[in-house]
Amino acid sequence: MPGMGSKKLLRRFYEPLVLLHVLDPNGEQRIPRVWEDANTVHMQLRELRRNFLNQLAYVCDYIKGGDSVTAIALEVQPSVVTFWMASNSEVSAFTTSFLRGILETLQGLDLTQSEDSMTVTEAEISQRCIEFSIRRVKTYQNFMRKYLQQCLATLREVILIGWLESFQGFENDLPGLCHYAYQQRSCQCMRALQRHIGDNHTYIVEGESRRQAFVLTRHYIGRLGSHVRAAKVLVAAGLRMPDLFNSFAIQTRPAPKPPSLPPPTGHLTTLEGILNRMLPPVPGQAPLYQEALATLNAKFNIQTRLQDKYRDKHFRPRVHAELNLLEYFHAKRLPFVDDDRFIGCSKPACYCCYHYISHHPGGFVRPTSHSIRYMNWRPPDLINNADSKEKIQQRDVLNKVIAQIRLDTLRHIERQRGPSMWRPDSTTGITCSETYNGPVNKTDTSQFDNMDTLNHPKSGPATTHISARSSPRLSVSDKGGEELADQIICSQEEQEDSGEDSESEGGVLLT
């Protein structure tokens, strides 16, 4: 796997990641929620441009699932703005042609045009976006119908029943359904639907089938309206930022080939072995964590599930689109528009992407993140394999990411709890969205929406807390972990890479 080195180094990255995924695949909500549907007329230009890039990437992501996830970044030169595009799979000529058509339409906008003319343009763009992503929209419709029927089976409110049934009247008119869903996003009936969900509307606990139906019905109504909302943002950007479109070019990055085999494992891939390699060499600490992990294993069958993950034929890590662009811009020193080191994406960042971007020395804007711990992730390929500086830089970034994964894993073990509640990894787009943590320098708090596909809840152990009285008191607190994080990082920096792994070897530096 380019950029990652030996099998030993791969093990040291994936062991804690797979263990963390088994312990808690969803993680905790990283980004606070803010009100959505901000008026684009009053947005600051930087905020609008970021919102625009996210929505532009989203309308290019035409299939529900991960294959067509799209990232877009802007390179500026004196005579041209280049729209760089990458996807989790190869960017097709069909997608490039669609993007060019959208940009050419935005190029022709004029602030002197009437409001009616702008409304017509928004409708035309939304129609093209819906037609381009018709497979995604049809999937949204099918899922909405499924969960809507479950809601109707339990409802008694006549008005709410009639309102939900109104979404079934668009059999062969998907654009009409999308516009209707967007119009209904803040109506009284949507608020009534929310009352059947409660406050934590993005979370679903196993066994809550009735509530799940209302959560997902609401979610898919929001998703169906997403292309209409995106078109409004695109038009607003075309009107307020004409310099982006006066002279533009489109370039694509090839998608790195996925590995033919899953990450390597070995006879030392046991819970005790992984834990020993994660812990810093602090006397007396290992037995406490071993006891706590053994308790979790007895309750949630962690060891067997860990081995099953490694044997899963679908365990084929790949480079995510935003990191493909990130490393290319950094290695080639490409200048961003307005020096805003932002990469738009059609989905919120996963757990690994968020931490990779956060620890990268390029100072890129931290993305919004759903914090879900996907295993099918790998770091981006090196742009120049012969550049030792580039190799060292990626090694250092990965060491920090590994330290974070280990810290979060140890924190979860200490807290002695089962998996977090399930939630979708996409925003519903009705009343709230995720906001950015800001760039690495923490001086920017721009807020904007980002969207992705939905992973449906699967059967598994429900969230369970083990009694603290039956578990050891460990050194990582629920509120912190800074001391242990420092110990992990120092351990990685001080230890040398010395041949074979051993059960007693602590955190080791990637080389």
For the stretch 184-227, pLDDT in tens is: 988 999 988 888 887 654 555 554 678 888 989 999 999 999 99
Three-class DSSP labels, 264-321: CCCCCCCHHHHHHHHCCCCCCHHHHHHHHHHHHHHHHCHHHHHHHHHHCCCCCCECCH
Q: Are 312 and 326 in contact (CB under 8 A)?
A: no
The H or E element that residue 243 is part of is none
What is residue 265's predicted lDDT score, i.e. its pLDDT? 65
Give the burial string for 321-354 (b: 16+ CB within 10 Å, else e).
bbbbbbbbbbbeebebbeebbbbbbbbbbbbbbb
Task: Please report, to the nearest 10 degrees, the dihedral formed by the alpha carbons of residues 497, 270, 381, 364 taken in order.
Answer: -90
pLDDT on residue 342: 97
Element (H or E) spanning 448, and its range? none
Between β-strands 248-252 and 432-434, what pairing exists: parallel, antiparallel or unpaired? unpaired
Give the whole-angstrom CA distance, residue 290 versus residue 306. 16
Q: How much is the pLDDT for 338?
A: 96
Identify the three-state secondary structure at position 62. coil
SS3 content of the chain, % helix, strand, coil (to 5): 50, 10, 45
| Greatest Cα-to-Cα distance within the chain, rounded to the nearest angstrom | 73
Q: Please tell me the predicted confidence (pLDDT) of residue 366.
A: 92
Burial environment of residue 305 by CB neighbours within 10 A (0 to 12, 13 to 18, 19 or more): middle
Residue type, 46: R
Locate 288 and state its tokens: 């406490």
8 A C-beta contact, residue 20 and residue 412: yes
Q: Are strands 248-252 and 80-87 parallel, antiparallel or unpaired?
A: parallel
Q: How many CB atoms lie within 10 A of CB 122?
A: 17
Q: How many residues does the chain have?
A: 511
For residue 221, report the phi and psi dihedrals to the nearest 5 degrees. Answer: -60, -45
**Count of other CB atoms within 10 angstroms of residue 179:** 20
In sequence order, the β-bridge partners of residue 248 are: 81
Q: What is the pLDDT of residue 482?
A: 59
Residue 458 DSSP symbol: -
Sign (positive or negative) of CA dihedral 262, 267, 269, 270: positive
Report the distance separating Cα 330 and Cα 326, nearest Å. 6
pLDDT of residue 111: 79
pTM for this model (two decimals): 0.83
Pull the structure tokens for residue 55: 């929505």
Mean pLDDT by runs of 10 across the 511 residues of the chain is: 56 90 82 53 89 96 92 97 96 97 94 86 96 96 94 93 94 94 91 79 57 89 94 95 96 86 66 88 87 93 89 86 97 97 94 94 92 89 85 89 93 84 62 38 32 38 39 43 62 50 42 37
d(CA 270, CA 385): 33
- Scan for tokens 């489109």, then name that residue: 250
Alpha carbons 81 and 355: distance in angstroms, whole number? 29
| Residue 268: per-residue pLDDT | 62
- b/e for 125-158, b at 16 or more Cβ within 10 A? bbbbbbebbeebbebbbebbeebbebbeeeeeee
What residues have CB less than 8 Å from 392, skipping those under 6 apart? none
Joined together, the tokens standing for residue 476 give 């990582």
pLDDT for residue 457: 44
The residue ranges of DSSP E strands in 184-232, in sequence order, are none
Number of neighbours of residue 176 by Cβ within 10 angstroms: 12
Q: Is 206 exposed, middle or buried (0-12, 13-18, 19+ CB in 10 A)?
A: middle
For residue 301, give Cα distances in angstroms to 48, 78, 222, 413, 457: 47, 59, 37, 14, 19
pLDDT of residue 472: 45
Nearest to 310 by CA among 257, 269, 353, 277: 269
What's the per-residue H, E or C state across 352-416? HHHHHHHHCCCCCEECCECCCCCCCECCCCCCCCCCHHHHHHHHHHHHHHHHHHHHHHHHHHHHC
- Residue 481 has a pLDDT of 55
In this predicted structure, what is the pLDDT of residue 483? 63
What percentage of residues in the chain have a pLDDT greater than 90?
50
